[in-house]
Amino acid sequence: MSDLLLVLNAGSSSLKFALFTLSDLDCRIRGAAEQGANGSYIVIEENGRESRRTTLGGDDFQLEALSALLDWLHERELTERLAGAGHRVVHGGTAFTRPLRVDEDALARMDELVLLAPLHLPHNLNAIHVLRRLEPSLPQVACFDTAFHATQSEIVRTYGLPAELTERGYIRYGFHGLSYEYIASRLDDILGRELAPGRVIVAHLGNGASLCALRDYRSVATTFGYSTLDGLIMGTRCGALDPGLVLQLIRDHGGDADRVERMLYNDSGLSGISGVSRDMRALLASDAPRAHFAVDLFVYRIVRECGSLTAALGGADALVFTGGIGARSAEIRSRVVDELDWLGAVLDHASNDGGTGRLDARGSRIAIAAVPTNEELVVARHTRALVAGEVAPPR
């Protein structure tokens, strides 16, 4: 009986995974493999408890991690129950605007997109290649983080560049799409059916951070653009920069674009501004003036971009926080909402301190909420939809 779905999220130094039941998409097993300076390991959790921790010692991190995971599943006679595997793929370009079943042709076309996201996409796609080697008969599904934003208009996605460059794909793509898709699927429950189709700003705040404007549950605009550098201040990423400044930085560093790229992706953001940490919890607890300044700048940029998305929507009916910071930091939510008093946003501080759910106070002109995101579940949903017709129905 094929009744399980494997979900994979492969990064440059990590491989996160979860195992869902096909029938009701209940998450039974989750874990991660991590690659670090002091060694690599994989941790598997079952029913919320650590079931196995294994050291990985070779040179091929993803091959070892997936082999260790499949060995563990085989020991429990779960491998033969796999109906399919779904992958988070950071970029689909203009060609892939919905999830798809991976075949040789699709994989070759995805491999051609690596230049669009050279720091992320090779790792996403390598996990697909490795799993095809280890389990060649297992159906695989690719779910693209850019696809949710394909509903945006041409006006929204176009830069002021020569037309031939736009036609070659130099456009605004947007990311965090799987997170926004999950939040969109929850809006009826969060806001009620009257507000849910309205003008909603979603703030996905974490080590990566962005905002998305939704109308009728669809993406209208977002702060990310061509790359994951645009928009808000992030953990180690700079957010929006004047292109002239980027050109000057390249000149200042002797034309070494790779060095500047590392600076903008890895040495900037909260970490670079504060000189303390990229972790919002550490910054909020710090007495260092630069830490306070980094938090102030983080909040300012969120509020400023909320203004931009409010203009794109023609107003705002709701603000929903998600992501590691958005769903967990009452202080950041409070500071953002306090600066959005021009929207008529009023926070119920007791509800905000209590955690997630509806957070707006009586008299607030917009709804406010905080909801943990679940990108893995979105990948599982799409994977089930694309493979369920080819497997035995769950019993």
Quick count: other Cβ atoms within 10 Å of Cβ 345?
Answer: 23
Give 83: exposed, middle or buried? Use CB within 10 Å, 0-12, 13-18, 19+. buried
State the Cα–Cα distance between residues 48 and 173, nearest whole angstrom: 36
Catalytic-residue membership of 189: no
- Coil, strand or helix: which one is 219? strand
Three-class secondary structure assignment of 21-78? ECCCCCEEEEEEEEEECCEEEEEEEECCEEEEEEEECCCCHHHHHHHHHHHHHHHCCC
The H or E element that residue 285 is part of is helix 280-285
Q: Which of 26, 111, 145, 341 is an active site residue?
A: 145
Its sign, for the CA torsion 134, 136, 141, 146, is positive
Spatial contact of 379 and 178, defined as CB atoms under 8 Å apart: yes
Catalytic residues: 145
